[in-house]
Structure 1
Amino acid sequence: MKPRIAVLGCGYWGANHIRTLKALGVLHAVSDANKARAEGFASEQDCLAIEPDALFTRKDIDAIVMALPPQFHAEAAIKAVENGKDVLVEKPIALTVPDAERAVAAAKANKRIFMTGHVLRFHPAFEKLKELIDNGELGEVKYIHSHRLGLGKFHTENDALWDLAPHDLSMILAITGSAPTEIRGEGAALLDHQSDFAHLHMRFPNGLRSHLFTSRLNPYRERRLTVVGTRAMAVFDDVEPWERKLAVYRHAVWQDSGQWAFTANEPTYIPVEGGMPLTRELEHFLSCIQTRAEPRTSGEEAITVLRILTAGTVTHG
């Protein structure tokens, strides 16, 4: 029997969840503080519209996908798991580490699935990149840098770091397999007190280093994750078409008579199967609900991401 899923929060990203869950045949209800918005989606998708206060105790709902403003995520997740619902909570799952820890602890205490919406972990190009790394194709990974730049979106609660960096931090943590031991942040605020540009510099236990750059005031879009290994370098570029999203560069660098020399080779584009990351993410959530397996993007990972964001946040006057 398929789980019956409700979506709490019918904004931009909640709407994507609603349509995808409907296509998967598991959308049971929608809910939003804006009653008219919820009823509009309910009519469009032929499902129930339920008031937020009534949602958590409904016996006909098995799990809730939460796409709320992040300051409301923790309390809503706690209420859901205490009422026996599994949850997928969009990033960030809270605005403070203690709130995130309370929500994840509540899920564990009530034996509920807690999954985080780090959707790029389910991108076929990233999954293939991770496979190449795990198989040793790049050699020992020494450096990772990620750029996520564009114009907008602007939030009252989230700066560029908190809004954009969780996706990349999730991918970096998946590659490194550990939390960083050193974190240094830099930021610049142009519009108000929130950082519109943000840099994170990280060092990991094995000496691997990483740099992350986010901007919401950039004239062009960039969505690029680069992994530098001892045998090869790889680039996951989500702006490129499918046939060019994942490239491997087998450059060579060596010393000759005390001088450094190198050869630059053309990239090899790695075939990547098609597939929408959000669909794959929600399929994984459904599988976890049915098998009770720990999600790939667990609550613990989300807490680690929040710790990094908190340590790297620059406060502006």
Structure 2
Amino acid sequence: MSAMKVGVIGIGNMGRSHALQLDKGLIDGATLTAVCGRKDQIEWVKNNMTGEVQCFEDEEAFFNESRIEAVIIATPHYSHPELAIKAFAKGINVLLEKPAGVYTKNVLEMNEAAASSGKVFGMMYNQRTNPLYQKLRELIQSGELGEIKRTNWIVTDWYRSQSYYDSSRWRATWKGEGGGVLLNQAPHQLDLWQWTTGLMPKRVHAFSRYGKYHDIEVEDDVTAYVEYENGATGVFIASTGEAPGTNRFEIVGDRGKMVIENEELTFYRLTQSEREFNASYTGGFGEPECWKIDIPVKGENSGHRGIIQNWTDAIVKGTPLLAPGEEGIKGLEMTNAIYLSSWLNQTIEWPIDADLYYEKLQEKINQSTIEKKNGSNMT
């Protein structure tokens, strides 16, 4: 069977990585046959690809003339849903870089287009290939932790210097990027937060600081408090302005606590449910017996390559997707809710008001200073 013809649109940092993996034959069953990008990006492709690759600067020509069967979209955030919808209309399978989009309104339209097309739609949530989070999810879903009572994720090891933000006109602007740490750095954690626990918040109250540590107009420091349907609570903290940063994910259930930190998974396992102990213990001071267990985690963290391979196998062999594209909206819903809560200084309930969010985002875009920034635009 001949290899599936894959195109990549957007040949920036991530697009180049994906194109190289395909060109080098690292993805079984798929080969790079076309790319679409700016003139300077096309020159890079011509100088670095070993196979025969069609090059396009016009996206319409790319979709109409390349004869690709599948496309990886790695363009700036705002264009993700629009390009995916165009691909589905042409009968092309799609793998979309995170985030799914900037606002849920057009991401919903994208999901509907995907469902109508019957094509395979994947999301580049490469952290789902990490054995640590796969094991955590397995343990939680199997009931080992019992009913979840609290979640807490501090992810502040996303440090970025001012020069990083100054490197591109579109970075860290509402008009160019659509957000800051939540939309650029933290989408993977927001996805894993709900994917591993199986919980989506029902309400959120959040506090965002805009340009707290950098000369930027979007947020670089966020604290969000959420509540879940079962009464559990959670806190999500993210920043690009702390050094050294922390990455600690903690989930508490009535059967103990699980912690991921420093690439290790630790289970503080109670020998008895805390709720049962609370109801039956008569000794005053005391608590359930707890065993500290260092959970062995085996397997390869295949990252981006693993997601591309899984997506290819889903198209060619019918293999279940590890990161279905339709699930991209879940993390984006949390992002939009956190922004809206911060902008309005109020608690936001699910489902969020997508029209109100879009309206408030347009106000931010209209005030955006993207035209005042220096540097070249890098997708």
Q: Same fold (TM over 0.5)?
A: yes
Q: How does 1:157-172 map to 2 (within 5 A)?
A: 157=177, 158-172=179-193
Q: Per-residue CA shift, 1:127-153, capped at 9, x if unaligned?
A: 111112223332332222222222126
Aligned residues: 312
Per the alignment, residue 138 of structure 1 pairs with 145
Q: Shift of residue 9 of structure 1?
A: 1.3
Per the alignment, residue 159 of structure 2 pairs with 151
Decide whether the 8 Å contact of 2:63 with 2:90 is kept in 1.
yes
Distance of 1:210 and 1:3 partners within structure 2 = 43
Which SS does the other structure have where 1:179 is aligned? coil
Per the alignment, residue 266 of structure 2 pairs with 247
Distance of 1:132 and 1:63 partners within structure 2 = 34
Distance of 2:97 and 2:63 partners within structure 1 = 17
Q: Is 1:205 the counterpart of 2:229 in the alignment?
A: yes
Q: How does 1:217-296 map to 2 (within 5 A)?
A: 217-237=241-261, 240=262, 244-250=263-269, 257-261=283-287, 266-292=292-318, 295-296=321-322
Q: Which structure has more strand as a fraction of its residues?
A: 1
1:104 corresponds to which of 111, 116, 132: 111
Letter matched to residue 192 of structure 2: M
Q: Shift of residue 285 of structure 1?
A: 0.7
Once the two structures are overlaid, the 10-residue window that deviates more, 94-103 or 300-309, is 300-309
Q: Shift of residue 32 of structure 1?
A: 4.2
Q: How does 1:11-50 map to 2 (within 5 A)?
A: 11-21=12-22, 22=24, 23-25=26-28, 26-47=30-51, 48-50=53-55
Q: Per-residue CA shift, 1:193-223, capped at 9, x if unaligned?
A: 3111012222222223222111111112433
Distance of 1:303 and 1:39 partners within structure 2 = 34
TM-score (norm: length of structure 2): 0.74
Q: Shift of residue 187 of structure 1?
A: 0.7
Instruction: State the superposition RMSD in angstroms.
Output: 2.6
Letter matched to residue 162 of structure 1: L
Per the alignment, residue 185 of structure 1 pairs with 206
Go from structure 1 to structure 2 and tell me whether the alpha carbon gap of 1:199 and 1:42 turns closer, same or farther (over 3 Å shift).
farther
Q: Shift of residue 119 of structure 1?
A: 1.6
Distance of 1:256 and 1:293 partners within structure 2 = 53
Decide whether the 8 Å contact of 2:259 with 2:265 is kept in 1.
yes
Per the alignment, residue 126 of structure 2 pairs with 119
Distance of 1:75 and 1:202 partners within structure 2 = 31
Q: Shift of residue 293 of structure 1?
A: 6.1
Q: Shift of residue 267 of structure 1?
A: 4.7
TM-score (norm: length of structure 1): 0.87
Once the two structures are overlaid, the 10-residue window that deviates more, 29-38 or 280-289, is 29-38
> Greater RCO between the two (CA within 8 Å, min separation 6)?
2
Q: Shift of residue 258 of structure 1?
A: 2.5
Distance of 1:67 and 1:223 partners within structure 2 = 26
Decide whether the 8 Å contact of 2:141 with 2:197 is kept in 1.
no
Q: Shift of residue 260 of structure 1?
A: 4.6
- Stretches of structure 1 lacking an aligned partner (at least 5 in a row): none
Decide whether the 8 Å contact of 1:39 with 1:49 is kept in 2.
no
Letter matched to residue 11 of structure 2: C
- Kindly name which structure, 1 or 2, has the bigger radius of gyration based on alpha carbons: 2
